Chains A and B, each alone.
Chain A
Amino acid sequence: QAPVRWLSQSQAVSTQFPVENAAMERITSGLNVRIERSEFQGLGIAMADALRLVRAGTFDVVSAQIGLASRDDPFLEGIDLIGVSTDLEELRGAVNAFREVFDNRIQQRFGAKVVAIWPFGSQVFFCSQPIRTLDDLRGQRVRSFTASMSQLLERLGATPVTLSFPEVYPALQRGVASCGITSPTSANTGKWPEVTTHLLPLSVSGAVQAHLVNLAWWNRQTPAQREAYMAQFTRMENDLWELARTTNEDATNCSLGRPECLRQAHQPFSMTLATVSEADKTRLRRISEEVILSEWAARCNRAYPGCAQVWNDTVGRARGMAIR
């Protein structure tokens, strides 16, 4: 029997690896199959090519960063637009509302099925300057990595700067940028707290990921196999959501130097925490509605007429927002 070719994200930097690996082990023993795990980075493959790779059947299972993969379909970005969900609970509601239309779209366009959707964790602000509210970002140089994020920053009066992740640490250290946006766990493991002082835990997005399977491969499995796979993928998804909550909580505790820090995956530092005000949450949602959503709808509409309505009926309804 042919092995399952499974393309995964990097093991070295991924706190998600143990959870994904446990799912692989359960599948291997439960379904009596062999899994050949590869990594994007090890093979020199771009993460943005995830959808094309699963479509071509180069791999049977692919773990994709939706933000990057949406290069080939802006509609997919709709699952986690900037400013729509300000914490993980809100995000989960949005994801569940979007799941069906998201899966349909990927089946149609990319011949792949969505088997799990999960987040890296809240993307929050780390600054080397005192920051209490979004207002304090005015005039700061902030590292951005997507178009929507740049729009948000510009609206807040900040200067977006594009830098790849490994370049952010020296940039923060030397003042090329004064703030960066990432998840607490990425920041802690990337040692950002050494070069930043203030943490504003207002989440602008959740860095949503998905596991996709090639549809032809999926259809070759017997119904019983599919059910068994799906059970494992669903369990993995739940575990990954739980992991996103706990690791980022621990990472935050550690970065702030709180005694709760477990000192295992994360190192203790002594950053200062700002409290997120309702005013900031409201402001973020307003910018999202005024700028981000409509800009996205325009882009999305090119490839998918009526996609704004689809979004309004799903995520929009779940989050009480609308594209007008």
Chain B
Amino acid sequence: MGNAWGQAMNDGNPLTRVLGPPARLLALAGGWWLLFLSFVTCFEIIGRKLLGFSLQGIDEVGGYTTAVVSSLAFAWALVTKSHTRVDFLLAHMPEWLRAFLNALAYALLAGFGVFASLRGWAVLEETIEFDAHAITPLGTPLWIPQSLWLAGIVVFAAIAVLLALHAAWLLVTDRRRVNQLYGPMTLDEEVAIEASAIAKRQEGTP
């Protein structure tokens, strides 16, 4: 689906075209980490059940992984317009109102991202101030997972701010483009994604 998601991004938005590839890298890094952790988990289960040892802390690292892998993927979901919106009423509104609401959605999402970054930083700051370590056998210094987690949120927020500014600018200059670039993912785009996925699957069918 890599190419298909690329198509969804390639809707003529110059911002997502530039920001997409780095966001994709973050998402891929998360994927490799998930796969690695899955192997380590197998090792732990076999060790615990058959060989009488335990790595002690897979669950802890797994918890950090949920936070980090998801926050690192926030940006990717943003540039592919995947963050969930309810578009039922929106689709039936006049163009000018839709343009305004689309720009508003991005402005508020950016506000949410910036707020989450600031409060996330407050958490990390306290962790650093107290030099907090997990009380578990691993004793993880918490600044490590929390910095990675915060990094994902900050990248997400920064991109959201850029998109919101762009949408606001277009609202003044070219309303139609707001709806085209910042509306919820349209059926056509979803069709493109699925169609490309099918093509890929069927290419390889023996």
Contact = CB atoms under 8 A, between A and B. Distances in A.
A72 B132 contact: yes
Interface in B163-187: none
A71 B134 contact: yes
B135 A48 contact: yes
Contacts, number: 59
A281 interface: no
Nearest to B56: A162
A71 B135 contact: yes
Contacts of A144: 56, 137
Interface residues of A, number: 28
A68 B135 contact: yes
A299 B131 CA distance: 11
Contacts of A299: 133, 139
B137 A160 contact: yes
Nearest to A164: B59
Task: With a 10 A CB-CB cut-off, give which of B57, B126, B142 has the most chain A CB atoms.
Answer: B126
B52 A141 contact: yes
Contacts of B53: 159
Interface string A298-313: 0100110000000000
Interface in B120-151: 126, 130-139, 142
A147 B136 contact: yes
Contacts of B54: 141, 159-162
Contact of A162 (B49, B57, B139): B57
Interface string A7-44: 00000000000000000000000000000000000000
22 contacts: A52-B126, A71-B135, A72-B126, A72-B130, A74-B133, A77-B135, A141-B48, A141-B52, A141-B54, A144-B56, A146-B136, A147-B135, A147-B139, A159-B54, A161-B56, A162-B56, A162-B137, A163-B59, A164-B59, A176-B49, A299-B133, A303-B130
Interface of A: 48, 52, 67-68, 70-74, 77, 109, 139, 141, 144-147, 150, 159-164, 176, 299, 302-303
Given A147-B137, A164-B59, 12 more contacts: A48-B135, A71-B134, A72-B130, A73-B130, A141-B48, A144-B56, A147-B138, A150-B137, A159-B52, A160-B56, A162-B57, A176-B49
